[in-house]
Structure 1
Amino acid sequence: MLGMPSTNLVSEDELDAMGAEALRADDPQPILAELLDIIEQGRLADPASEGYALELAAEISQWQGDLDTALELTERALAGAQQPAEQQGYPRALRAEILVQLGREVEGMSELDALRPLLATDPSAVDYLRDTLEACDRAELAEQWLTEAMRVVLARFQDGDRTDAEDGEASADPAVLVALARQRHDLRRELDLEPDELDEVAEELADESEDAEDTGDVDEPELYGLDSLDGDEFTLVYWPRQEFDQLTKEWPELATVTGPSWDDHRMWTERALAAYAEQGVRHLHLVAGSAADVLAFVAERDAGDDDLELVDEYGELLADQGGGTRWPPEREDDCWCGSATRYESCCLLRSRVE
C-alpha cells in the first residue's frame, strides 16, 4: 500500500488492509501518513468512505498516543458525516473516549450520556458503548447503564412488543435484548458481582438459543471447520498467518471459505464467533490449523480441489483432540490471531468494520 501512485483510487477493502497493517506495524506512522494523503488528495474510490477513513486515521493516532491529532480527525469525520447524528454513534463514542483520555472528562462523559439511549435500540451500540466506558475506567457505570437499558427493553416485551406512536416508545427488539443480556452478564462476571435476576434472564436466553441450535433453527456462519463439542461448546479452526499463506497458495479454491486474504480470514473468524455468542453459545474455542496437516488429510482421501467440505472434517478431527484457545480473550490480552497486538486494538476492532 505504501508508495501507491497518487492516481490510484482506494477502496474500503484497501482501507481495511491499511488499518490491519497499522495494527501489526512497529511504527504505523508511515501508514498513517499515506492514509492522510489518500484523504487529502481525494483518492477514495467511494467519497462516502471519507468518514470511515478519518475514523481509521483517528484510531491509529490514538494507538500512537497522539490524542490531539486523534481528536481533530474524529471531529473532521463527524463534521463531514452524511448520516444524521443518531446514526453516528461509533465515531461519537470514539470522540468521547479521546476527550476523557485528554482529561476533558466532563465533555467526554456528556457525549457518552447523550449516546446512552442507543443502548435500548441498537445492538451494536451495546458493544461499543460498553467497550468505551471500560476504556474510560468506568466499568461499574457501564454495568449500571446496561442494567437500566435491559430493564427498559424487558418492559417493552412485557407490554406486548408494541410501538407507542404517541410517546415515540420503540418496539422491543430481540437482538437488542440478547446483546444487552450477553454484555451485561459478561461484564458482571469481570466485576465479580453476584448473579441477580437479570443474570438469570441472560442464562435463560442462552438456553433458548442453545435449544434452537439443537433443533436446527439457527443458521450457522458459512465457515468450514466449525464443530460441536458437547452441545454447549464450539470450536472454530483458524489459520495463523504463515499457515494461511501456505494453504491458500497450495489450494487457491479454499479462499472462498477462508477469505481471500489473512485479514479477511481474521475478520470472518471474529464475526463468526461473535455471531455464535449472540446466539447464546457460552463456550467458544479457537484451534490453529496446520496447512501441511490438512493438505495431507485431503491427499489421503484422494479428493479434488473442489471438495472443500474436507476442511470441515479436518476441523472435526482437531475438535475431537480437545484443547484450543478460549474466545474471547480479555480486551487487554494479546489477540488470538497471533498479531502480538492487544485484542481490543486488533480483531475486536476488526469485527466492527462494515
Structure 2
Amino acid sequence: MPTKDVLTSADIAELRRSALGMADPLGVAAELADAVEQNRLADPDDAGGALTLAAEIAEIRGKPDAALRYAERALAAYPSGEDPLAGFARALRARALFQAGGREDDALAELTALRPFLLVQPDAPAYVSAALDAAGRSSVAETWLSEAVDTLLGGRATAAGASTQAITAVPAVEVGPAESPGVLFFLLQQRHRVRRNLNLPHDRHDDLADRLETQLVRRAGDRNGGEPDLLFWPRAEFDRLLAAHAELTGTYGPDWDAHRARLEKELVRLAATGQVGLGVLSATVAGLDGFAGRRDGDPSDRETRAGYARELAARPAARIAWPPERNDACWCGSGLKYKKDCLPRSRS
C-alpha cells in the first residue's frame, strides 16, 4: 500500500475490504499502526479501529506476537471497554494468545470476560465463537451460546440426547427489522452454525434459528425486491440456471461476470462487518430442483433457495473458502489468479 500523509476513515474502510488481497498484508498492518503512532489519522477516533484491523491482519497471517501488540494498543485507544469494536479487539487478543502457545488460560479468561456481551451486542456471538473455534474449543462456544439463548428466551435448553418427540414447541419469537434483527437472532444463528459443525442433532433452538432466518429473508426480499445469498453457480451451471429459471436473472445477474461480481461485493461487505470464515456454496440446478421437489417448493422462491443454501452449508465439499491469496487461483474456478479476476470486481 502506498504510504499516505493522512489516512481518512474512507481509506481505513477500503483497507478493511481489500487488505488481505494485497501483495503485502502485513505491511498494510504496519502502515496502519505507524499512522496511529505518527498521528496521521484524519480522525483520531479511528485509532482503535485502525489498530484492530492491524491485529486482525496479523492474526490471520499467523503472526500472533504482532497481533497481540496491535490488539493491546487498540484496546488502549478505545474510549470505553463497552465499545463493540473493543470487544472484537479483545477477541483478537484472545486468538493471538491461543496461537502464541502456553497462554491458553489467559486467552480463555479474556473470552470469559466477554461472555456478558453475548446478551447485549449483536456482533459478540460471531467474534466470541470464532475465537473459540479457532482454538479448537467449539464445544465451549456451543455451551456459552446455548446458555445465552436460554437466558434471553427465559427457557431451559433441550436436554442432550432428547428424542424428537420430546422436544418442546418452538417459542413464538419474532425477528427484528431486516437491517437490525437483534441479539437473539445472531445468537441463534451462531449456535446453529457451531452445532452443525460439531455434528450435534437438530433441536428446538435450531428450529427457531431456521424460522427466524426465514422471516429475515422474507423481510429483506420484501424491502429490496430480492435477497443477496451466497449460492455460487459455476459457469456451466449458471447457463443451465437461467435457461431453466429465467426469472432468477434479477437475483443472480444477467451473465456470469455479473454473478461473480455480486458475490465478491457481498463477501467484501460481510468481511467489513467483522465476519470471518466466509465462503460461497457451489450450487447445481439439479440440486436446487431436487430440493424444491422434496419440499414441494418453487426453485424461484427465495425461501426455497435459502433452504437449499442451508442444506449445502452442511456439506463441507460444497463450500468454497474466501478470500484466496492474491496470487492463488480465483475462487470462481476460472483458472485465473484472484488478483486478475474476481478481486477487482469488488471495486467495479
What's the TM-score once normalised by structure 2's chain length? 0.60
Q: What is the aligned partner in structure 2 of residue 191 from structure 1?
A: 198
Compared CA separation, residues 59 and 213, structure 1 to 2 (3 A): closer
Deviations 1:225-278 (A, max 9, x none): x99x8xxxx9545999xx68xx9xxxxxxxxxx7xxx98665347789x9xxxx
Cα separation, 2, equivalents of 1:70 and 1:271: 18
Cα separation, 1, equivalents of 2:323 and 2:61: 22
Compared CA separation, residues 50 and 212, structure 1 to 2 (3 A): closer
Q: What is the aligned partner in structure 2 of residue 152 from structure 1?
A: 151
Deviations 1:128-153 (A, max 9, x none): 11111101111111111111111111
Q: What is the aligned partner in structure 1 of residue 21 from structure 2?
A: 24
CA drift of 1:125 comes to: 0.7
Compared CA separation, residues 130 and 222, structure 1 to 2 (3 A): same
1:334 to 301, 321, 335: 321
Within-5 A mapping of 1:105-254: 105-155=104-154, 175-209=182-216, 216=222, 236-237=252-253
CA drift of 1:109 comes to: 0.5
Deviations 1:174-214 (A, max 9, x none): 62221122221222111111112222222333444466568
Q: 3-state DSSP class of the match of 2:105?
A: helix
1:266–1:337: 8 Å Cα contact kept in structure 2? no
Within-5 A mapping of 1:244-283: 266-268=267-269
CA drift of 1:63 comes to: 3.0
Q: What is the aligned partner in structure 2 of residue 67 from structure 1?
A: 64
Q: What is the aligned partner in structure 2 of residue 89 from structure 1?
A: 87
Q: 3-state DSSP class of the match of 2:182?
A: helix
2:36–2:50: 8 Å Cα contact kept in structure 1? yes
Compared CA separation, residues 39 and 238, structure 1 to 2 (3 A): farther
Compared CA separation, residues 153 and 131, structure 1 to 2 (3 A): same
1:335–1:342: 8 Å Cα contact kept in structure 2? no
Cα separation, 1, equivalents of 2:26 and 2:154: 49
CA drift of 1:328 comes to: 10
Cα separation, 2, equivalents of 1:237 and 1:142: 37
2:17–2:269: 8 Å Cα contact kept in structure 1? no
Q: Which amino acid in structure 2 is aligned with residue 69 of structure 1?
A: A
CA drift of 1:17 comes to: 3.0
What's the TM-score once normalised by structure 1's chain length? 0.59
Q: 3-state DSSP class of the match of 1:123?
A: coil
Q: Which amino acid in structure 2 is aligned with residue 155 of structure 1?
A: G
1:334–1:341: 8 Å Cα contact kept in structure 2? no
Q: Which amino acid in structure 2 is aligned with residue 89 of structure 1?
A: G
Compared CA separation, residues 285 and 81, structure 1 to 2 (3 A): same
1:178–1:205: 8 Å Cα contact kept in structure 2? yes
Cα separation, 1, equivalents of 2:103 and 2:194: 26
1:58–1:74: 8 Å Cα contact kept in structure 2? yes
CA drift of 1:37 comes to: 2.8
Count of residue pairs brought into register by the alignment: 262
CA drift of 1:15 comes to: 1.9
Q: What is the aligned partner in structure 2 of residue 78 from structure 1?
A: 75
Deviations 1:293-342 (A, max 9, x none): xxxxxxxxxxxxxxxxxxxxxxx9xx9xx99xx67997x95316885599
